[in-house]
Chains A and B, each alone.
Chain A
């Protein structure tokens, strides 16, 4: 493939810090809203800031997760290789927002009641799915360091990180099932994007199997 030399090095140096700033921004925004709510503008997040906060964190987590899944297709299609260096930190940010989303729900909404949490996990499908998705993210987050990649070996590491596909499906299902009515714009948009990102991988895998020589080239 004839990708330009410019793309091969584009962003190599500034991409990491810029990505970090972009990933911290949603949290900083939330922090500012909370400070304003507690000091001068009590209804800046509407009249149910608790619900607003955990929905905001959940939406942010799912969107960042979808961005993580978009990195490889972008690299493969454009040949912009350095973009891969930011993939792990984006994935890690998705985990942190998902964790904050869960903590906001358990802390602010359930007020740290473990029995209530158990009841929700056992009885309510969308919470079961959400918790499973978060749980599946833990090994990925723990093995996200350079040292862990070295220790595990690339093959094992890849096998563990394959979990991102089922967990993304779990996360989007969680998002769809929590709605009052099935078809709402936002979760359906998330589902459509995920379908495209997974569909692209399936298509590529199928193509490779069909023409092994060409794919190896």
Chain B
């Protein structure tokens, strides 16, 4: 995309200090919002960029994690799929993140409001390591890996995304769950100022999701801090989110602010909103229809040519080998 800039000496010098992506976001929002918001507040909402006056504020703080859009180095992991990777523009432009609004482009339009630095993750419940953590306390940025996973939304569309992050099990290990912890619950940040969608009672905020401990420890369960070789943008759950490729997308938790280990099954957001349509497990299953549509196939979003075809949905989204044993003996029609 071609962008036009007014020449501003401060900005020109600043530019070299910044990574490309937040700069792009920043300018776009500036142009889009015009005078409606003060420039200062917009810049202020951008993590680790700079002071509005042009003072250079590189994230020198050792505990600071990369700003949205910053380049990340990651080792390629063995997880890959044969289908074409979704174009990055679609990944960042077509999102469900109701904290920013219910339309697919709301998160991309309003995500800039979310300040992801500093960020704190509160650990609660059945754990021997209770307390507050920074992103870098939980995620070892020297061990980032890239995994290309299928992403299947419950709304019958799908993407193929190269995530960057660490296994969820490595994060959980640091948090020392007790033997009494049978489930792990994730909560998205709730901030009515930075997340305008939460001002409406669309869901019972904050967004809560959860997994059985054995699901969370499965090799596929992943904590992403990036995608496409860059730190996650706000619309996709910056600074860190879960990725659970064998489950419908809403089972993942974006912009995690709280992790809680519990003895009982967590009450999750969509399940509370509509238990008939959204179960606790919500594993991808072409044989169990959503009450209002079939789950047998999916529209592929963000192909190179624009036009999106359908593909048949696979059991556990194609990850049967890795996860089927978790549900041995369970009736998956009842435990949808």
Contacts from A to B (Cβ < 8 Å): 37-38, 41-51, 109-111, 116, 119-120, 123-124, 126, 178, 180-181
Contacts and interface: CB of A to CB of B under 8 A. Distances in A.
B331 interface: no
Interface residues of B, number: 25
A124 B292 CA distance: 6
Contacts of A38: 305-307
A47 B94 contact: yes
A42 B299 contact: no
- Main secondary structure, interface of A, reads loop
Interface of B: 89-90, 93-94, 102, 104-105, 157, 202, 289, 292-294, 296-297, 299, 301-302, 304-310
B287 to A, nearest CB: 12
Contacts of B304: 42
Contact of A42 (B202, B292, B294, B305): B305
B289 A48 contact: no
* A-B pairs, 5 with minimum CB distance: A42-B306, A47-B94, A47-B90, A37-B306, A47-B301
Given A48-B301, A50-B299, A43 B306 contact: yes
17 contacts: A42-B305, A42-B306, A42-B307, A43-B306, A44-B306, A45-B306, A46-B93, A46-B104, A46-B105, A47-B90, A47-B301, A47-B308, A50-B299, A110-B310, A123-B289, A124-B293, A181-B202
B308 A120 contact: no
Contact of B93 (A44, A45, A47): A47
B292 A126 contact: yes
A115 to B, nearest CB: 10
B157 A109 contact: no
Contact of B294 (A46, A116, A180, A181): A116
A45 to B, nearest CB: 8
A47 B104 contact: yes
B310 A111 contact: yes
